[in-house]
Amino acid sequence: MRLLSEFSIKGTPSTRTAQQKGARVVSNHIIFYEKPEVRKDNEALYWQLYPHAPEKPFYGKLCVRLMWVFDKKSLTKAEDNTFNDKRPDLDNLAKGTLDIMQKVGIIAEDSIIAKLDLTKAWSRHHAGLYIQIWLMDDEKDINTYFYGWRQRVT
């Protein structure tokens, strides 16, 4: 793998996700819409990601690593920098973030992501969204990731 980009956005990440849509009935049809608070958080993330956009969006077989670190001042020293098993759901956080990364022009489209590493954590001092984008090398990387699985399942 070759590292293409690595950056972080400091501050407590939004807990609003792409799944938090509003719905209303108009002429017996359900109309879904983006709630104003979700739109506001998405716009904020857009402008935080914008300075990190390359001249051309990354393409190829990508590995994207996303880590959301939520601020929690009430953690004891033993609990600091621990994994977060509370809401929001990790898959919903990822979907919204990847969609915005595509709109900004960091990635060409989210279908080119071959490997996606997602992490949620708590920290008293290091809140933020951490992003790494890697280009995968087929021969080396598939053997690294797939070989261990092949050994266990066959």
Tell me which of 1-5, 25-29, 31-35, 66-70 is least confident. Answer: 31-35
Q: What is the pLDDT of residues 43-71, one digit of tens each?
A: 999 999 999 999 999 999 999 999 999 98
Strand 128-135 with 62-71, pairing: antiparallel
| Residue length of the chain | 154
Contact 69, 113 (CB under 8 A): no
Distance CA 134, CA 126 (A): 23
Alpha helices in the chain (DSSP H): 36-49, 90-104, 138-153
Strand 113-123 with 62-71, pairing: parallel
| Residue whose token pair is 């929690």 | 72
Tokens of 129: 């969204």
| Residue whose token pair is 């053997």 | 143
Residue 95's Cα: distance from chain center in Å? 7
Q: Half-sphere exposure of residue 117, counting CA atoms within 13 Å on the CB side?
A: 11
Q: What is the pLDDT of residues 87-102, one digit of tens each?
A: 888 998 999 999 999 9
Q: What is the identity of the amino acid at 128?
A: G
| pTM for this predicted structure | 0.83
Backbone angles phi, psi at 101, to 5 degrees: -60, -35
